Structure 1
Amino acid sequence: MDDVRRVQVTARGFALGAVGVGVAAAGILLGVQVLAQAGLLLVGVLAYGLVVLGTAARTANRGGLTLVRRVVPHPVTVDDEAVVEVDLTSAGGVHRLDRLEIAEQAARELSGGGGLRARVHRSRGRLQLTYAIHPSHRGRWTVGPLQVQRQDLFGVARWSGPLGPPMKVAVRPRVVHLDMDTRSSSTDVDRAAVGTRMPAADDASLRDYRAGDDLRRVHWRTSARRAELMVRQDERAARRPVSVLLDLPDDDATAEWSISAAASIALALMRSGHRVRLLGGGVVDALAEHHRPDVDGTAADALLDQTVDLVLPPNRMTRDAWLRTAVDTLSQQGGGAELIVAVVGGLDPDALASLARIGDAHQGWAMVRLGRVGQPAGDDETYTLEALRRAGWRAVGVQPGEDLAAAWERLLGASDRAEAMR
């Protein structure tokens, strides 16, 4: 906890001290005892205020004040509301909070473009500050530290400063629920959506029983032999893994739409039983881990948490390098055995050639951004779309900012048409 050390004399205190010294000096020079006593009393009031506040500051610095800050819910999603609760208590009631003034700092990205209104509740030895935040941008944004200020009873001195460490609020991108059963299961893309089965050695594998497992999956013979409950491995583990490839532009609005699209696609495929990973954005090592689908949402939370720290590339060279690294990761880790869903813009020739090689008609689908938010498509974006189609990808052009569910529908529709032409 940061120290609160600044004990200062207020303007009233300076005036009171100056008057007190002057009156005391005049009383001593004139031999008027009452005048001298009045001056010393004024100086004593100033000294009293400084001593009282100095003691309070030392108490706070030594842990006399305890601060706890919570954000509910946390993490929070873009455009959703969360509540910040700041709880300040005095250890043993030794520090008075009735004259303590407080203010909380929060990043502009958490205010939704407006001011923050707080409610303060005071009780003996406790002070609670509550305010709502409306995050407008994905990322990690700071609330705190708590700014405190207190004056003495006579207003001649005050102490102020930060109290407690700041806190980072994680803001996730907004995701859209994508329907995975809008087509028949005859096409490859639909079989990917509903969970394509592949031969796998772990179809009949067993694992230890976990709380919440369906008792109908308990393998009683093995459980009796081992004297512990064993369950058959969830057959969804045999579904093909999916890599969602994300190409981030250097435009903020377009990048946020792309991140939302990639996260929405990844969660939809995870819900249908696939192991999913995100690749791209310059942090491939952090995003490359496959997330197994689960019941309690832990894998989905982990995937969304990874998107919080994605940053925009500073220039086109960096963007192309990030994408090539992601494509190389796919190639080195057996991308041919995976389903690949890409959200990309116009690609440079090297990245486009690498991407075209690893996708074919059975495993590659792409949303190609045509332009930026509010801007028309460029030649490189149109060429990327056509080149991926020629390479066997099932690709559609999308306008950044458009409805994600509609874009997903078009991608599924393109897959249906491709299958009908085969």
Structure 2
Amino acid sequence: MRRRPTPRGWALAAVGLVALQAGIGLGSLDLVRIGVLLLAVPVTALVSVMVVDAVRGRRGIVVHREVRPDPVHAGQEAEVRVDIRATDRAGRARLAGLRFSEQAAVELSGGRALRARVTRRADHALVRYPVRATQRGRWPLGPLVVTRTDMFGVVRSRTTLGTESQVAVWPTVVALPAPSDVLVGEPDRVALGARSPSTDDANLRDYREGDDLRRVHWTSSARRGTLLVRSDERAGMRPVSVLLDLPVRASAAEWTISLAASIALAMLDTGHPVRLAGAGIATGTAAGPARGASPYVHARSGLEARAALLDLTLDLAPARTSAESETQLLDAVRLLDTSQAAGEIVVAVIGPLSAPGRAALAHVGDVAQGWAMVRADGRSAGDARDAHHTATALRRSGWRVAQVTTGEDAVECWLRLLGGAR
């Protein structure tokens, strides 16, 4: 709670002080009385505000904040609605004399004052204003700041009502074209959109992470003592792991996250089970705070699946050093290597790697179908040279590779990868 005189209060106090001094100097009792009276007005108002606020506190007023949409993508606008409702007669009396303002993180306000529209009724007020998300993450909004003055307008008090909210901002994503059919099916069934059963549809195979549990053949599984699934056309949708490393530079990290999220959503929309793997991605297991890869999400979950993938990007942060970035990437690669990745698709968005990093990714390419975008910042010849070495090593290991530059259009990068050579 902050209380301070208004300009009118300061003026009264100043005039009163001058009148008091003049009355004492001139021996005028009337001037002394006028000075004391003028000084008493702001002092009395300040004491009154303190007593009333101490007694009433924040009781009688309830604040509810709603953001639509929430989460919101970076670069998009959202509308905030703050409903301030009085729950009793005293609350209605207080509500009538309040002025409202909101606090928001600079990532939501852009560093500018929020321009709100206020609609008042007898028992509640509605504050509405737009915010524009400028950066991925979780950003605070509120609490509501209320200001009121006493009946004489000489003392202003300012306090907060309600609690702070958080607005989740997803990365910017781009709609990417559907991948070519070579990405989709089992090695012997690559035609995208195949709907007629093949001669192998009746066959059973071992369950792999990402398979639809509805395709489990429970009778055979019970007899064999291990999960078996039917190899029909839906079981032929390979699981996809989108692997990313985060560079040190913040703008490059945001571009990498945006591209990886766009790829993950494109593969999900095609029907693949998809997971994210890389620095800071939660495993979602009961083993503790381990990081490396998320569980698979399935297209059948609809909007919930898209939200689950995008939520994983909210708390990602750039690495502090290039060595740390590669260490985190290698941890994720080792996790992929031990998670029955055979037959799945690994789409990597990575920077230049050292020899151990290239060797680790090459090993993943032995058991999975590997596709990689090798990122260069375009700031130095050495960076471009290292990216070229990484791309060449991965191609020799059987990866399909495209070299990209930070900040490039995501669709162009994707199409270059789809048309790239092994």
| TM category, shorter | 0.7 to 0.9
**Cα gap change, 1:326/1:111 in structure 2, threshold over 3 Å: closer, same or farther?**
same
Partner of 1:299: 305
SS in 1 for 2:283: helix
SS in 2 for 1:249: coil
Partner of 1:94: 90
Partner of 1:338: 344
SS in 2 for 1:70: strand
**Cα gap change, 1:93/1:55 in structure 2, threshold over 3 Å: closer, same or farther?**
farther
- Specify the code of the residue in structure 2 equivalent to 1:83: E
Partner of 1:123: 121
> Do residues 396 (structure 1) and 402 (structure 2) align?
yes
Map 1:14-413 → 2, pairs under 5 A: 16=12, 42=38, 45-46=41-42, 48-58=44-54, 61-95=57-91, 96-112=94-110, 115-180=113-178, 182=180, 191=190, 199=205, 202=213, 204-205=215-216, 236=234, 239-285=237-283, 287-360=293-366, 363-369=369-375, 371-372=376-377, 377-413=383-419
Cα deviation 1:284-341 (Å, max 9, x = unaligned) = 4354222122243111101101111110001112111111111111112222342211
Judge conservation of contact 1:195–1:274 (CA < 8 Å) in 2: no
**Cα gap change, 1:373/1:98 in structure 2, threshold over 3 Å: closer, same or farther?**
farther
Judge conservation of contact 2:186–2:238 (CA < 8 Å) in 1: no
Cα deviation 1:376-404 (Å, max 9, x = unaligned) = 65221110000000111111111222222
CA shift for structure 1 position 172: 0.4
Task: Compare 314-323 and 372-381 and name the one that shifted more.
Answer: 372-381
CA shift for structure 1 position 255: 1.4
- Number of matched pairs: 384
CA shift for structure 1 position 161: 2.9
SS in 2 for 1:365: strand
**Cα gap change, 1:80/1:18 in structure 2, threshold over 3 Å: closer, same or farther?**
closer
- Specify the code of the residue in structure 2 equivalent to 1:89: R
Q: 2:28, 2:368 → 1: CA distance?
A: 106
CA shift for structure 1 position 151: 1.1
Cα deviation 1:333-355 (Å, max 9, x = unaligned) = 22234221111110122222111
**Cα gap change, 1:351/1:78 in structure 2, threshold over 3 Å: closer, same or farther?**
same
Judge conservation of contact 1:176–1:404 (CA < 8 Å) in 2: yes
SS in 1 for 2:95: coil
SS in 2 for 1:354: helix
Q: 1:165, 1:407 → 2: CA distance?
A: 43
Q: 1:174, 1:101 → 2: CA distance?
A: 36
Judge conservation of contact 1:142–1:168 (CA < 8 Å) in 2: yes
Greater helix proportion: 1
Cα deviation 1:151-173 (Å, max 9, x = unaligned) = 11212222113333322211101
- Specify the code of the residue in structure 2 equivalent to 1:372: D
Cα deviation 1:182-217 (Å, max 9, x = unaligned) = 55779969939769999466564499xxxxxxxxxx
Judge conservation of contact 2:186–2:237 (CA < 8 Å) in 1: no
Judge conservation of contact 1:242–1:276 (CA < 8 Å) in 2: yes
Judge conservation of contact 1:195–1:240 (CA < 8 Å) in 2: no
- Specify the code of the residue in structure 1 equivalent to 2:372: A
CA shift for structure 1 position 30: 8.4
Judge conservation of contact 1:189–1:412 (CA < 8 Å) in 2: no
Q: 2:185, 2:236 → 1: CA distance?
A: 19
Q: 1:203, 1:67 → 2: CA distance?
A: 46
Judge conservation of contact 1:135–1:171 (CA < 8 Å) in 2: yes
SS in 2 for 1:336: coil
Judge conservation of contact 2:370–2:398 (CA < 8 Å) in 1: yes
Task: Compare 333-342 and 52-61 and name the one that shifted more.
Answer: 52-61
Judge conservation of contact 1:78–1:174 (CA < 8 Å) in 2: yes
Q: 2:373, 2:187 → 1: CA distance?
A: 17
Q: 2:188, 2:52 → 1: CA distance?
A: 68
SS in 2 for 1:308: coil
Task: Compare 173-182 and 298-307 and name the one that shifted more.
Answer: 173-182
Partner of 1:217: none
CA shift for structure 1 position 73: 0.4
CA shift for structure 1 position 283: 3.5
**Cα gap change, 1:80/1:375 in structure 2, threshold over 3 Å: closer, same or farther?**
farther
SS in 2 for 1:342: strand
Cα deviation 1:111-145 (Å, max 9, x = unaligned) = 34655322222222322221111112111122222
- Specify the code of the residue in structure 2 equivalent to 1:351: G
SS in 2 for 1:130: strand
Normalised to the residue count of structure 1, the TM-score between the two structures is: 0.78
SS in 1 for 2:82: strand
Partner of 1:8: 4
